[in-house]
Structure 1
Amino acid sequence: MAWFKREKKGISTTTEEKKEAPDGLWNKCPNCKKALHSADLIEHKYVCHYCDYHLRVGSKEYFEVLFDRDSYTELFANLTSGDPLSFVDSKPYADRIVETTAKTGLKDAIRAAHGKIDGHPIMIACMDFNFIGGSMGSVVGEKIARSIDYSLKNNVPFLMISKSGGARMMEAAFSLMQMAKTSAKLALLAQAKIPYISLLTDPTTGGVTASYAMLGDINIAEPGALIGFAGPRVIKETIKKDLPKGFQTSEFVLEHGFLDFIVDRRQMKAKLATFLKMMEN
């Protein structure tokens, strides 16, 4: 009976001869769901070339995108968080730090480095969302403060790349103190007339938005980034009203005067170089 026969068509490959695709070779765009080859992602600065969606990336990728090749040096790399409150939730905070460090290879939610962008010296601090949601703890505040001190000492501009869920609850008041600490340091930078550029990426929320993220001489953001203090769901439940379309996107924030520019990541280095050249003059 032909109905019960399976005819072989095309090329048949035995199980032993099949080859699996290496891990990390392909990614899927969270927006359009299309497959993205890793080499294409790197070439397009981790932006989907189908729909222009900006994928979330960490400090390593931002340093590679912005700094001139092999021009940067990381600073303050060995700073790690303590456990001032002996905080315990589902697990001790100290254990969570150890586990997250092992998983991500990061010491905390921020890295700092100095180098050059198109030949212009600059100090950059960049947050990493993969480390406990990019939460702002004492190490984040200290690294920003030390980065600003480096800019003051060497008379170079400072770029802050924010990507955070807000304050780190496990450090309570120690976390909230970083808002005042970093803002005071930025005031010294302003007094010295050294440029400060703030780049807000997806997401930038909570105490980070309420402090250093919004204090730049120039505030810029990537397209479609979530920017705000409380999240849209919390606001909607509080005011009991529907929110405007696109609420808390970088486009909405720009329209209401809290941003100066929205810049595509693929043009970010050139745009920053233009800012730096203008400020030098």
Structure 2
Amino acid sequence: MSWLSNVRNKIASITKKETADNLWHKCKKCEAMVFLKEFEDNMHICPKCEHHGRIGPMLRFKQIMDENSWKLIPWAKVQEDPLKFKDQKKYADRLKAARTQTGEQDAFINVKGTIENIPCVVGVQDFAFMGGSMGLAVGEAFVAGAKRAIADQCPFICFTASGGARMQEGTLSLMQMPKTTVAISMMREAGIPYIVVLTDPTSGGVMAAYAMLGDIQIAEPDATLAFTGRRVIENTIREKLPDDFQTSEYYRDHGMLDMIVHRKELRAELARTMGYLMAWKDAA
């Protein structure tokens, strides 16, 4: 191979890599190729089919909170790797890798700020952190968010995105279900609205716990919402399930959601909902 041919091949390889990785986004639903910048400018929504892409906590806060209004609520310390768990990798190594990848301590982050000048606490689950799995840290973060909302007498909004309980913490992860349920009961006793926004995907122990216990249940369009897998259910009941089973639309049509809200309308809807739910406090 000549020197010129070698240079041409390297240039073609670099160009192809930059184009594939940096310029285009492939929609997971319709598989359309969209300019990455167009996708990002459209709030990570496919302009072809309106599929809502998954987004992390920091981007979520920027989209719904008033600019420069929100501050992170400090992490609560919990025992890490309480079972000294190891499968193909040590659990401690998996945590380290997830923290390096996401820049976050764990899979649930709280902030205190305002949405259209209404004070609120917002907690967001990060699916990129070990599938948003619920362990000791997630349970403690949820409780911390609830307690802050009670202390500040403002609504608590929770964005869920999870594959379920964190298997590396065994029974301790399952105990976060009653723990977070008690925190929700505390909010109700204090008259604090608890609003849930279910995003793609929300499943497992999270779906069976705080994801379905909101005073108001909202979901993004076409999100996958499930306690267990479709195939497991079909094999158990020996029946074919509807095509839209375990989607936001199915849950709404069967009375398990209050509304489905497009991401571009979510900020305004949250503000309107909080205004309704907090009206009695303003009047008192």
Question: Considering the TM-score relative to the shorter chain, is it more than 0.5?
Answer: yes
- Structure 1 partner of 2:209: 211
- Structure 2 partner of 1:198: 196
Percent of matched pairs sharing the same residue: 40
- Cα drift, residue 152 of structure 1: 0.6
Change (3 A) 1:133 1:161: same
Partners of 2:270 and 2:141 in 1: CA distance: 22
Q: SS of the counterpart of 1:275?
A: helix
**Deviation per residue, 1:58-91 (Å, 9 max, x gap):** 1122111111112111112474660111111111
Partners of 1:206 and 1:15 in 2: CA distance: 48
Gaps of 5+ in 2: 1-7, 280-284
- Structure 1 partner of 2:265: 267
The reply to whether residue 161 of structure 1 matches residue 152 of structure 2 is no
* 1:224 aligns with one of 209, 213, 222: 222
Q: SS of the counterpart of 1:268?
A: helix
Aligned 8 A contact 2:76 2:141 in 1:
no
Give the number of the structure whose residues are more often helix, by fraction. Answer: 2
**Deviation per residue, 1:135-187 (Å, 9 max, x gap):** 10000000000000100111010001000000011101110111001100110
Larger radius of gyration: 1
Change (3 A) 1:251 1:81: farther
* 1:109 aligns with one of 107, 110, 121: 107
Partners of 2:208 and 2:9 in 1: CA distance: 57
- Cα drift, residue 16 of structure 1: 8.8
- Cα drift, residue 17 of structure 1: 8.0
Size of the aligned set, in residue pairs, is 269
After the TM superposition, which residues 247-258 of structure 1 pair with which residues of structure 2 at under 5 Å, given as runs? 247-258=245-256
Partners of 1:17 and 1:245 in 2: CA distance: 46
Partners of 1:15 and 1:243 in 2: CA distance: 50
- Structure 1 partner of 2:185: 187
The reply to whether residue 33 of structure 1 matches residue 39 of structure 2 is no
- Structure 1 partner of 2:122: 124
| C-alpha RMSD of matched pairs (Å) | 1.9
Partners of 1:211 and 1:217 in 2: CA distance: 13
- Cα drift, residue 245 of structure 1: 2.1
- Cα drift, residue 267 of structure 1: 0.6
- Structure 2 partner of 1:8: none
Change (3 A) 1:68 1:193: same
- Structure 2 partner of 1:49: 47
Partners of 1:87 and 1:16 in 2: CA distance: 45
* 1:75 aligns with one of 62, 73, 76: 73
Partners of 1:53 and 1:15 in 2: CA distance: 36
Gaps of 5+ in 1: 1-13
